[in-house]
Chain A
């Protein structure tokens, strides 16, 4: 069956080489196994939490950024948020993000008493504009974060994400879940009361 004629010495050498090569999957699985074990023990010790996406920014001033216009809105920068005298909700969204579309109804209702500034995350300008044309536009100002760089500074883990900005530009509340969830809305309202919003 063997297609090549090989001398026993060559054969042994090639078997060793093949054995090393075929050991690669085992080593790969081993590395993954160790990593998973570290994750699990970290989760038990509380040092590693893959679900905790609230930590990075709350309680800090907004990071520095400047965003270009996303029609139909105008772009904004960190200085604009810092110059505010009333609370504002900053909402990251994208036209390719289904939960964001589902969230739009809730945002449209919310913007009647809390201004919402939108940031289109990793989205083509025309797609985001199209979404707002179809779904309605809850945003007073909209910036385009085409390459997602600004989102990294904000610690955004995925869209939709919302940040409540207190007057002066302090991030006081954050949710990585959509605002169509009533519990999230309750959390937002509580945070809003604390900073003196309606």
Chain B
């Protein structure tokens, strides 16, 4: 398993990918069944080669092969095994390889699960995925070779950024990338549909599970990243509107819109062109986000090795992928037939509204993120766009979104009346009013009150919708159980995901009331925060595997009862001459007590320590809600209808054309 073998496997994967990009699509065009039939084999071959290549890099990292410059720069002998493995994707070269591996995985997944797709469509989808993969494999081989060697090989590596040595961050990139790259599949479906000149209900049904799967991974990835910044950076914050965070939020927003508009394509054959554009747009945003961060155009705290030369290659790649697909869109989409009509007040209408609002938020985030470099380019001014802009611009758009989330899912298709739906929601409306009263007392600030109230509205109305479908409180429990068994899981999934949104928003709204305090205390001194008494009872030095730590002991009491003892620490890493703070968090599910130890001041015999103490109400709910959303997605994916039966096109030109 030498690095050269890894590079060879990568080159082999690239050859597979090129063949995958050319032969099946050519075959689909010439209606050559044999050429179309080799697509799955090529996709699986590519995956095997990529897997071999990736394992070679992991092997080099685990066996401390410091002759590989990538390992040398990011690893060291003393680094724990988990981080030797996760360090493989903790740097530019390795993360591109992981990116490509996941893309290969997507291609192979379409090959494996897409058996009931029409052969021409499947060949084209796999072909498009192969084309994108070939581009990234070339990028990897030409400008960011992870297997580059150095000579003479040093005895020890330079070590990894201690901030990244964290279990949360070890799994964050693979999950996030699966989300990013997963949107390549809807993208490939969109391009294949444009090549065929045909989008119909079956297409909507095939695209939807891929979009849902990618969305669920992206949701988890974003939540994990935010959680990491919450407990590792030690600032008590969870979202900083940093360009890298925005780069993941933008495709999440457009992907959420895509997931919803694909429903309209499936059920009503409307919004077809829009859905195709969203599929292209979402993947384009994923790609551009990666590019902007790696090329160094966006100013971010997430420092990847930035190299403009590398940027030019990615830009060219983006030009081919995004420019090419949008050109194909402009050329072919106008000939797509328009579908079913619907009244403004209807399920379709509410989904259109959902799309408009989500895309507006997406546009706002995009503008805020891209404004600084564009201003700098056009007017030579350096400015930054921060939290005040994003908060002020996104929350007013999110509020109507939450309102309509409540009754949108209950509206019938085609033409609906609001009044009967409103009547069914009276319980939810009462609960919302009660929540409004409670939040008026408990929270300060108009926006937190509104958001918390609407979160309760989203949760209760989603529950009402599910209860209504099950006939709870109207029919017997046994009958409800029967209904539950026959109700499609995607309905449960959607309800669950909406509840997850509500839970997250409630967490975000209440978290805005967080309290914190920075104090300088002697050992034995106490501080009051949020009704708790925080006492620093001791500080000691603790040696770690590749660092030494200064660990504080803080006892927290409430009404005289000991709530918890926390041990925040500050680690000094010898290899990098860097320190990290290890936050200590005690949670009871409703609030986090969050302690950080800072600098030591004063004489050694009677020193003072700087402590930062936070009280974060409902903080865990923010990530818990995201988990519920992802679980909703997973539940919806387990729906039988997503897999069997329906994915069969109405017998039409396809079969005839293939003859």
Partner of B329, one of A26, A101, A157: A26
B343 is an interface residue with CB less than 8 A from chain A: no
Q: How far is the CA of A42 from the CA of B318 in the complex (A)?
A: 19
Partner of A43, one of B288, B296, B299, B515: B296
- Shortest Cβ distance from residue B279 to the other chain A in the assembled complex, whole angstroms: 12
A108 is an interface residue with CB less than 8 A from chain B: yes
* Residues of B in contact with A, size category: 35 or more
Q: How far is the CA of A123 from the CA of B329 in the complex (A)?
A: 46
A65 is an interface residue with CB less than 8 A from chain B: no
Beta-carbon contacts under 8 Å, A19-45 to B: 19, 22-23, 25-26, 29-30, 32-33, 35-44
Chain B residues with Cβ below 8 Å from A35 are 374, 377
- Is there contact, CB below 8 Å, between A48 and B376? yes
- Is there contact, CB below 8 Å, between B340 and A50? no
A83 is an interface residue with CB less than 8 A from chain B: no
Beta-carbon contacts under 8 Å, B306-336 to A: 308-309, 311-312, 315, 318-319, 322-323, 326-327, 329-331, 333-335
A113 is an interface residue with CB less than 8 A from chain B: no
Chain A residues with Cβ below 8 Å from B327 are 26
Binds A, one of B168-176, B257-265, B383-391, B641-649: B383-391
Q: How far is the CA of A39 from the CA of B297 in the complex (A)?
A: 7
Counting chain B CB atoms within 10 Å of each CB, the highest count among A44, A99, A105 belongs to A105
- Is there contact, CB below 8 Å, between B281 and A51? no
- Is there contact, CB below 8 Å, between B308 and A50? no
Q: How far is the CA of A135 from the CA of B520 in the complex (A)?
A: 10
B339 is an interface residue with CB less than 8 A from chain A: yes
A141 is an interface residue with CB less than 8 A from chain B: no
- Is there contact, CB below 8 Å, between A56 and B382? yes
- Is there contact, CB below 8 Å, between A98 and B236? yes
- Shortest Cβ distance from residue B512 to the other chain A in the assembled complex, whole angstroms: 11
Q: How far is the CA of A135 from the CA of B611 in the complex (A)?
A: 10
In the complex, which residue of chain A has the Cβ closest to the Cβ of B331? A19
Partner of A109, one of B330, B331, B601: B601
Q: How far is the CA of A27 from the CA of B236 in the complex (A)?
A: 42
Partner of B384, one of A1, A22, A134, A158: A158
- Shortest Cβ distance from residue B20 to the other chain A in the assembled complex, whole angstroms: 25
Q: How far is the CA of A70 from the CA of B322 in the complex (A)?
A: 50
Chain B residues with Cβ below 8 Å from A15 are 334-335
Number of A-B residue pairs with CB-CB distance less than 8 Å in the complex they form: 136
Chain B residues with Cβ below 8 Å from A135 are 517-518
Partner of A50, one of B315, B338, B373, B388: B373
Chain B residues with Cβ below 8 Å from A23 are 330
In the complex, which residue of chain A has the Cβ closest to the Cβ of B578? A182
Partner of B318, one of A26, A33, A96: A33
A53 is an interface residue with CB less than 8 A from chain B: yes
- Is there contact, CB below 8 Å, between A105 and B326? no
- Is there contact, CB below 8 Å, between B273 and A22? yes
Chain A residues with Cβ below 8 Å from B377 are 35, 38-39, 42, 48
- Is there contact, CB below 8 Å, between A22 and B339? no
Q: How far is the CA of A23 from the CA of B334 in the complex (A)?
A: 10
A77 is an interface residue with CB less than 8 A from chain B: no
- Shortest Cβ distance from residue B568 to the other chain A in the assembled complex, whole angstroms: 14
- Shortest Cβ distance from residue B355 to the other chain A in the assembled complex, whole angstroms: 15
The 0/1 profile, CB within 8 Å of B marked 1, for residues 112-144 of chain A is 000000000010000000000011100000000
- Is there contact, CB below 8 Å, between B235 and A99? yes
B551 is an interface residue with CB less than 8 A from chain A: no
* Residues of A in contact with B, size category: 35 or more
Chain A residues with Cβ below 8 Å from B382 are 50, 52-53, 56, 155, 157
- Is there contact, CB below 8 Å, between B341 and A3? yes
A104 is an interface residue with CB less than 8 A from chain B: yes
B599 is an interface residue with CB less than 8 A from chain A: yes
A198 is an interface residue with CB less than 8 A from chain B: no
Partner of B323, one of A4, A22, A30, A159: A30
- Is there contact, CB below 8 Å, between B518 and A136? yes
Q: How far is the CA of A155 from the CA of B383 in the complex (A)?
A: 8
Partner of A101, one of B281, B516, B601: B516
Chain A residues with Cβ below 8 Å from B299 are 50-51
Chain B residues with Cβ below 8 Å from A51 are 296, 299
Q: Known contacts A30-B323, A48-B376; decide if A98 and B235 are in contact (CB<8 Å).
A: yes
B610 is an interface residue with CB less than 8 A from chain A: yes
The 0/1 profile, CB within 8 Å of B marked 1, for residues 42-67 of chain A is 11100010111100100000000000
Partner of B326, one of A4, A25, A157: A25
Beta-carbon contacts under 8 Å, A142-173 to B: 155, 157-159
- Is there contact, CB below 8 Å, between A22 and B388? no
- Is there contact, CB below 8 Å, between B387 and A43? no
Beta-carbon contacts under 8 Å, B356-387 to A: 370, 372-374, 376-377, 382-384, 386-387
A193 is an interface residue with CB less than 8 A from chain B: no
Q: How far is the CA of A109 from the CA of B383 in the complex (A)?
A: 29
In the complex, which residue of chain B has the Cβ closest to the Cβ of A155? B382
Q: How far is the CA of A141 from the CA of B431 in the complex (A)?
A: 49
In the complex, which residue of chain B has the Cβ closest to the Cβ of A123? B388
- Is there contact, CB below 8 Å, between B517 and A50? no
The 0/1 profile, CB within 8 Å of B marked 1, for residues 1-20 of chain A is 11110000000000110110
Q: How far is the CA of A171 from the CA of B598 in the complex (A)?
A: 30
B584 is an interface residue with CB less than 8 A from chain A: no
Chain B residues with Cβ below 8 Å from A159 are 386
In the complex, which residue of chain A has the Cβ closest to the Cβ of B310? A40
Q: How far is the CA of A163 from the CA of B109 in the complex (A)?
A: 55
In the complex, which residue of chain B has the Cβ closest to the Cβ of A151? B383
Given contacts A18-B333, A25-B281, A98-B235, 19 further A-B contacts (CB under 8 A): A2-B338, A18-B334, A25-B277, A26-B326, A32-B288, A36-B291, A38-B377, A40-B311, A50-B296, A50-B298, A96-B388, A97-B387, A98-B236, A98-B237, A101-B518, A105-B598, A106-B599, A135-B517, A158-B386
Report B's interface with A, CB cutoff 8 A: 234-237, 240, 269, 273, 277, 280-281, 284, 288, 291-292, 295-299, 308-309, 311-312, 315, 318-319, 322-323, 326-327, 329-331, 333-335, 337-341, 370, 372-374, 376-377, 382-384, 386-388, 515-518, 520, 598-599, 601, 610, 612
Q: Which 3 residue pairs of A and B lie closest in terms of their CB atoms, listed nearest first?
A: A158-B384, A26-B326, A23-B330
Offer 23 A-B interface pairs, CB within 8 angstroms, sorted by A. A15-B335, A16-B334, A18-B333, A25-B277, A25-B326, A25-B330, A26-B330, A29-B323, A30-B323, A32-B288, A33-B315, A36-B292, A51-B299, A96-B386, A98-B235, A101-B518, A102-B234, A102-B612, A134-B515, A134-B516, A134-B517, A136-B520, A158-B384
